[in-house]
């Protein structure tokens, strides 16, 4: 067996490394202060936080990292460091769909690091209001959430809001079985929202094939019902278990390990191209047959990938349907700019919601 260094010696080395790291992170903070001064001298007060610059820093860390720390860990470290440096100048205020402890707040910290002030508000519209009125620098709102359907609120609000999308965040979402039964064998009925039930179908087929499944209006309602009868259980988030004091019987029972909710960051500023960007837009085609097909041709012609499409009935009375689309690339990329020009000629209404770096962490 190879010889090992004594503990005391290794710890002395660690202490030296720590002192160096400490000096460097403070030197970095001084540089960040200098950046702020330069920006003020150049009349750029409003743009201390640059999502594009931060995305580039994190991607560079990923490229440079040789381990043993995993890329993800190294990037998280720098995410926090940038957050702390920024907070020295002016802590960012970020509004989110409250309460605290929700996935939305988790998304705020994942994107901005933990050195920000968060403002929980009661509804998605209030997140937009807080940023529009200048109460907060940024807002974070869910845009795709298979269990709660909040996507529509967010999309609809964009039709009338002057705000831009300046970033995206993805958060893993878990489903859990909760109830007062002593064991799975003691359960005769399970309540949940139908979309949560769908997400756990395989698990239910495997572990509780004989049990009656009842869809109810929400996961919180499911938890309430399960709290009334020991032989029933609910599939819901863990906050519901806390409020109804329901023991959690199984955690993470969703079938897809990549069951995620996507959030977007909204603000007033544009984000510069980083080389790996997305652009979100909304347009209306009118009702001629083939109109959507022709609109999408603009992207195909310039070889631009489409990540997402969502159609929504318009509430503006001017168009019957609007389409929300995410495409690959930044609106300043030449190919994208040309495709957007072509698209504009083929639609009744086109609104760019923003170009922003793809989620890094």
- The residue within the footprint of a copy of itself, chosen from 11, 172, 201, 202 (CB under 8 A), is 11
Question: Does the footprint of a copy of itself cover residue 17 (CB under 8 A)?
Answer: yes
**Residue 350 lies near a copy of itself (rule: CB under 8 A):** no
User: Which DSSP letter does residue 335 get?
Assistant: H
Stretch of 200-208, 243-251, 253-261, 293-301 contacting a copy of itself, by CB under 8 A: 243-251
User: Is residue 230 involved in binding a copy of itself (CB under 8 A)?
Assistant: no
Q: Respond yes or no: is residue 274 known to be catalytic.
A: no
In this complex, which beta carbon is closest to a copy of itself, that of residue 31 or of residue 306?
A: 31
Site for a copy of itself in 147-206 (CB under 8 A): 174, 176
247 binds a copy of itself (CB under 8 A): yes
Which positions from 117 through 136 interact with a copy of itself, judged by CB under 8 A?
Answer: 120-123
Q: How far is the CB of 105 from a copy of itself (least distance, A)?
A: 9
47 makes contact with a copy of itself (CB under 8 A): no
For the record, the structure tokens of 45 come out as 């007060």
> 85 or 233, CB closer to a copy of itself?
85
**List 118, 261, 279, 285, catalytic entry:** 261
How many other CB atoms sit within 10 Å of the CB of residue 37? 10
Tokens 């400490």: give the residue: 22
Structure tokens at 176: 């859990």
Beta strands at 232-236 and 189-192: parallel, antiparallel or unpaired: parallel
CA distances to 82, 185, 284, 296, 306 from 309, rounded to whole Å, are 33, 43, 13, 10, 8
List of residues 6+ apart from 20 with CB closer than 8 A: none
Q: Give the integer Cα–Cα distance in Å for 172 and 287.
A: 38
Residue 260 touches a copy of itself, criterion: CB under 8 A: no
Residues taking part in catalysis: 261, 263
């Amino acid at each position: 067996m190879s010889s090992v260094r004594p503990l005391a010696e290794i710890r002395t080395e660690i202490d030296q490394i720590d002192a160096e790291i400490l000096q460097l992170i403070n030197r970095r903070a001084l540089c960040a202060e200098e950046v702020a001064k330069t920006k003020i001298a150049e009349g750029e007060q409003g743009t201390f936080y640059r999502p594009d610059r931060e995305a580039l820093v994190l991607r560079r860390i990923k490229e440079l990292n040789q381990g043993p720390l995993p890329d993800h860990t190294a990037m998280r470290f720098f995410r926090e460091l940038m957050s702390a440096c920024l907070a020295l100048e002016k802590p960012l205020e970020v509004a989110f769909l409250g309460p605290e402890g929700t996935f939305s707040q988790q998304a705020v910290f994942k994107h901005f690091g933990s050195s920000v002030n968060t403002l929980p508000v009661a509804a998605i519209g209030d997140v937009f209001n807080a940023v529009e009125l200048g109460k907060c620098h940024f807002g974070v709102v869910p845009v795709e959430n298979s269990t709660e359907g909040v996507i529509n609120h967010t999309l609809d609000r964009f039709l009338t809001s002057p705000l831009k999308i300046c970033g995206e965040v993805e958060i893993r979402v878990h489903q859990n079985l909760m109830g007062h039964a002593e064991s799975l064998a003691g359960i005769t009925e399970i309540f949940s929202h139908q979309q949560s039930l769908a997400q756990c179908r395989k698990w239910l087929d495997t572990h509780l094939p004989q049990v009656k499944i009842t869809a109810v209006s929400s996961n919180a309602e499911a938890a309430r019902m399960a709290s009334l009868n020991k032989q029933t259980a609910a599939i819901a988030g863990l906050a519901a278990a806390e409020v109804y004091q329901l023991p959690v019987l199984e955690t993470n029972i969703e079938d897809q390990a990549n069951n995620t909710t996507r959030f977007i960051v909204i603000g007033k500023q544009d984000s510069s191209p980083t080389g790996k960007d997305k652009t979100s837009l909304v347009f209306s085609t009118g009702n001629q047959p083939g109109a959507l097909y022709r609109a999408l041709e603009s992207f195909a012609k310039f070889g631009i990938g489409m990540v997402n499409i969502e159609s929504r009935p318009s509430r503006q009375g001017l168009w019957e349907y609007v389409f929300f689309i995410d495409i690959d690339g930044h609106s300043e990329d030449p190919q994208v700019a040309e495709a957007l020009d072509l698209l504009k000629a083929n639609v009744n209404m086109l609104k760019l919601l923003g170009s922003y770096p793809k989620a890094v962490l």
